[in-house]
């Protein structure tokens, strides 16, 4: 009898097949070859028959040529750093696709001359915060702080409170980032209490600027005191406020979270923020404030190393002008509506033989801001061991395991994705 392995289709034969040729045009030949090789190996190991190789390889082809896989964030953490922070709005995704080819990012189609890079996004940002005389956009908020330190505090001091020496995450610390520019840090006050006199005593001819950093991922409670921007502006040094979260205006759902408009009105000379936290846009660093300072940042040699690409500019503009993006929408979602959705999903899953219950839940903003704020939410509760299976699905669904149950929190799932969650759970049975 012939060796059944001899019947395993050869790679060049499969690549000549129209279905594989089409996939190779879309994904590139290496990815298609890799899927074929894996299926051939499964056949050689006896896991599948030789006849199954083609279908098995086709089924294993990735959806895109990137290894980044789509994930449904059912963790209840609105801004989840490990899941890429803010998911873009449909409007922002469309804008990214349109700008992906050649585009007039730095070109005036009317006169055929060079134009200001990203003027549409800058205009949208300026319109969102009329209190800012000028705006600039860099790679992320860390880059915005870096640029402030380089441009405003070379061989000078940055005065900041010991209560605001923040580690952002992954071991990165704002004071170390600032010190890396050569600026000197002048720490004032204590971890829990800093007074206006502490700042006043430190400010002098060597001061580059005073920095206020929003403690966006921790809370100090008890015997505490801090100085607001409005008091600091009277001391004569420029005041830079890092709000982190990226709220452009006050957000009713988060009354204690700082926003750019309020701090500029209080007299801040510059405000820095992230684009991919509560604003709900692409990774970006937003700089808003006095024209002379912003112009100085924009013209600093390092600005070129920190600039954003056309895709970011496209997504940012669409985030600012388009319909409310997923993160701010999740922030405002009505808990009654969330519970209704959880009940409908749990019913549908129970009908499919799954041990599913609708339960109350608590969502949080996450690394993006509002530490300690609990957002009432609703979840579908599944047996704990489902967590791994759901992560292995396509799309992957990432929930959170609490007291032995796998909770799928619906505050971080858009209502139109409920059917995707349903299908993913049913597929994981």
Q: Give the interface segment with ligand PLP, choosing from 16-24, 101-109, 136-144, 190-198 (CB under 6 A).
A: 136-144
Site membership for ligand PLP, residue 216 (CB under 6 A): yes
Rounded CA gap, 96 and 85, in Å? 17
Asked if residue 308 lies in contact with residue 321, where contact means CB atoms within 8 angstroms, the answer is no
Task: Specify which residues 274 forms β-bridges with.
Answer: 285
Report the residue number, 297 or 424, with the smaller CB distance to ligand PLP: 297
Site membership for ligand PLP, residue 141 (CB under 6 A): yes
Q: Give the interface segment with ligand PLP, choosing from 213-221, 232-240, 308-316, 412-420 (CB under 6 A).
A: 213-221
Q: What is the sign of the dihedral through the CA atoms of 286, 292, 298 and 301?
A: negative
Asked if residue 39 lies in contact with residue 60, where contact means CB atoms within 8 angstroms, the answer is yes
Rounded CA gap, 71 and 413, in Å? 11
Site membership for ligand PLP, residue 89 (CB under 6 A): no
Asked if residue 177 lies in contact with residue 356, where contact means CB atoms within 8 angstroms, the answer is no
Shortest CB 241 distance to ligand PLP, Å: 10
Rounded CA gap, 301 and 338, in Å? 49
Rounded CA gap, 419 and 429, in Å? 16
Site membership for ligand PLP, residue 274 (CB under 6 A): yes
Shortest CB 276 distance to ligand PLP, Å: 7
Site membership for ligand PLP, residue 163 (CB under 6 A): no
Site membership for ligand PLP, residue 136 (CB under 6 A): no
Number of residues that bind ligand PLP (CB under 6 A): 13
Rounded CA gap, 145 and 381, in Å? 42
Report the residue number, 168 or 398, with the smaller CB distance to ligand PLP: 168
Shortest CB 30 distance to ligand PLP, Å: 33
Question: Cα 291 to chain center, whole Å?
Answer: 28
Rounded CA gap, 322 and 208, in Å? 38
Site membership for ligand PLP, residue 73 (CB under 6 A): no
Site membership for ligand PLP, residue 214 (CB under 6 A): yes
Site membership for ligand PLP, residue 326 (CB under 6 A): no
- Phi, psi for residue 6 in degrees, rounded to 5: -65, -20
Q: Give the interface segment with ligand PLP, choosing from 36-44, 212-220, 309-317, 400-408 (CB under 6 A).
A: 212-220
Report the residue number, 280 or 399, with the smaller CB distance to ligand PLP: 280
Shortest CB 367 distance to ligand PLP, Å: 7
CA distances from 319 to 144, 149, 277, 417 (A): 19, 28, 12, 20
Shortest CB 274 distance to ligand PLP, Å: 3
Per-residue binding letters, 225-264, with ligand PLP (x by CB under 6 A): -----------------x-x--------------------
Half-sphere exposure of 197 (CA within 13 A, CB side): 1
Asked if residue 187 lies in contact with residue 161, where contact means CB atoms within 8 angstroms, the answer is yes
Shortest CB 195 distance to ligand PLP, Å: 22
CA terminus-to-terminus distance, the chain? 40
Asked if residue 343 lies in contact with residue 337, where contact means CB atoms within 8 angstroms, the answer is no
Per-residue binding letters, 165-204, with ligand PLP (x by CB under 6 A): -x-x-----x------------------------------
Shortest CB 329 distance to ligand PLP, Å: 21
Rounded CA gap, 22 and 3, in Å? 31
- Helices 29-44 and 53-60 pack at an angle, to 10 degrees, of 130
Report the residue number, 139 or 361, with the smaller CB distance to ligand PLP: 139
Site membership for ligand PLP, residue 140 (CB under 6 A): yes
Shortest CB 82 distance to ligand PLP, Å: 13
Site membership for ligand PLP, residue 75 (CB under 6 A): no
- Phi, psi for residue 95 in degrees, rounded to 5: -65, -40
Question: Which residues of this chain interact with ligand PLP, rule CB under 6 A?
Answer: 140-142, 166, 168, 174, 213-214, 216, 242, 244, 274, 285
């Amino acid at each position: 009898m012939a060796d059944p392995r001899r019947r395993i289709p050869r790679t060049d034969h499969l690549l000549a097949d129209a279905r594989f040729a089409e996939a190779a045009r879309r994904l590139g030949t290496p990815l298609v070859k890799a899927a074929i090789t894996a299926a051939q190996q499964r056949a050689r190991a006896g896991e599948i028959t030789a006849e199954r190789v083609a279908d098995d390889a086709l089924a294993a082809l990735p959806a895109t040529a990137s290894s980044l896989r789509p994930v449904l964030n059912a963790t209840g953490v609105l801004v989840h750093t490990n899941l890429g922070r803010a998911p873009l709005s449909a409007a922002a995704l469309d804008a990214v696709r349109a700008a992906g080819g050649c585009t007039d990012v730095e070109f005036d189609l009317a006169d055929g001359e060079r134009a200001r890079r990203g003027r549409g996004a800058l205009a949208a940002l300026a319109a969102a915060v009329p209190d800012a005389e000028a705006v600039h956009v860099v790679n992320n908020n860390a880059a915005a702080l870096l640029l402030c330190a380089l441009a405003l505090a070379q061989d000078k001091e940055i005065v900041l409170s010991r209560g605001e020496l923040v580690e952002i995450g992954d071991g990165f610390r704002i004071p170390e980032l600032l010190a890396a520019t050569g600026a000197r840090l002048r720490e004032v006050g204590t971890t829990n209490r800093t007074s206006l006199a502490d700042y006043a005593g430190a400010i002098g001819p060597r001061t580059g600027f005073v920095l206020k950093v929003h403690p966006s991922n921790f809370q100090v409670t008890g015997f505490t005191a801090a100085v607001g921007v409005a008091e600091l502006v009277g001391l004569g040094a420029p005041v830079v406020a890092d709000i982190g979260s990226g709220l452009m205006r006050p957000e009713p759902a988060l009354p204690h979270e700082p926003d750019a408009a309020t701090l500029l009105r209080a007299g801040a000379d510059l405000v820095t923020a992230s684009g991919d936290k509560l604003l709900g846009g692409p990774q970006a660093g937003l700089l808003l404030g006095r024209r002379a300072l912003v112009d100085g940042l924009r013209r600093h040699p390092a600005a070129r190393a920190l600039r954003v690409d056309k895709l970011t500019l496209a997504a940012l503009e669409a985030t600012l002008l388009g319909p409310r993006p997923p993160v701010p929408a999740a922030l405002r979602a009505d808990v009654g509506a969330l519970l209704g959705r959880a009940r409908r999903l749990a019913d549908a899953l129970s009908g499919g033989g799954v041990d599913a219950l609708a339960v109350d839940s608590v969502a949080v903003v996450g690394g993006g801001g509002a530490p300690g704020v609990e957002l009432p939410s609703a979840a579908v509760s599944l047996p704990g061991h489902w967590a791994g299976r759901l992560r292995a699905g396509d799309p992957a669904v990432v929930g959170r395991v609490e007291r032995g149950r796998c909770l799928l929190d619906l505050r971080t799932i858009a209502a139109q994705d409920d059917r995707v969650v349903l299908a993913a759970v049913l597929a994981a049975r």
